[in-house]
Structure 1
Amino acid sequence: MPLRLETVTPDNVSAACALKIEPWQEKFVAPVAESLAEAYTQPAAAWPRLVYDDDRLVAFLMGCFDPAAPFDFFRCGIWRLNVAAGHQRSGYGRFAVEQFCAEARRRGQNRITVLWVPDPDGPEQFYLGLGFTPTGQTFHGETVAERFLD
């Protein structure tokens, strides 16, 4: 079975919460359990999804779709991307981002955003490689970047 996105359900939420990233990345992204708690408090905006490769959970993505958000960079964007330790550089993160872009297009959006912690070990190069461009804004010390959709 090819790569796919799945919604978080009672059947897979425990596996989702158990997904661990590389220890050195923990300063860049919150744990899945924290992300799911945030999604629970913002069900109209949050879009949490799991990435599977066959029946193996390999990543977690949480995006947002909130046209009424007070900051434009929270109206349609990626909040979190956690790729499981040992599964990075395998295309799973790229797949997750492209699936989010497809959902954004389906919803009539033409711009998505992402924020990252500026750090030489952070995800900046990953997002730049996917076509994101810094906007010049920062939010709580994080770089705000955008990507326009075709």
Structure 2
Amino acid sequence: MFDDTIPGVANLDPAFLAALRRAAADAALDGVEFHVNSGWRSPEYQEKLLRDAVFKYGSEKEAARWVATPETSPHVSGNAIDIGPAEAKAWLSEHGAEYGLCQIYRNEPWHYELRPEAVEHGCPPMYPDPSHDPRLRRHDCA
């Protein structure tokens, strides 16, 4: 199981949290424990992560491969988690669709979001990285 009382988990979308709880309980039966390394994030914290990524990768374009803006991040809306350890990621990779939990980005095997349709149809194809996700694109008006 995992501690679902910490703010990053407790603030998740209720349907997402329910699916995560079910998956964690079943994973525990297989001896696998989930650790939510990051769940809900405040817009301020997401902005800090973005600034840090720009510094680390040298440009906004490169940072966008790893970190979304506060306006577009599914973490800020309570619709994403970063999961660990490796055994949990492997378990979710194999079983996550049964709960509607899907890896969204090929370059982020720890990042999962709720896709309820996956229960019946499987997870959608992954984006290579967040910069390819149309939900995360800024729509700046000039």
Q: Decide: shared fold, TM above 0.5.
A: no
- TM-score bracket, normalised by the shorter chain, equals 0.3 to 0.5
Task: Identify, as 1 or 2, the structure richer in helix.
Answer: 2
Task: Identify, as 1 or 2, the structure richer in strand.
Answer: 1
Q: TM-score, normalised by structure 2?
A: 0.32
Q: TM-score, normalised by structure 1?
A: 0.31
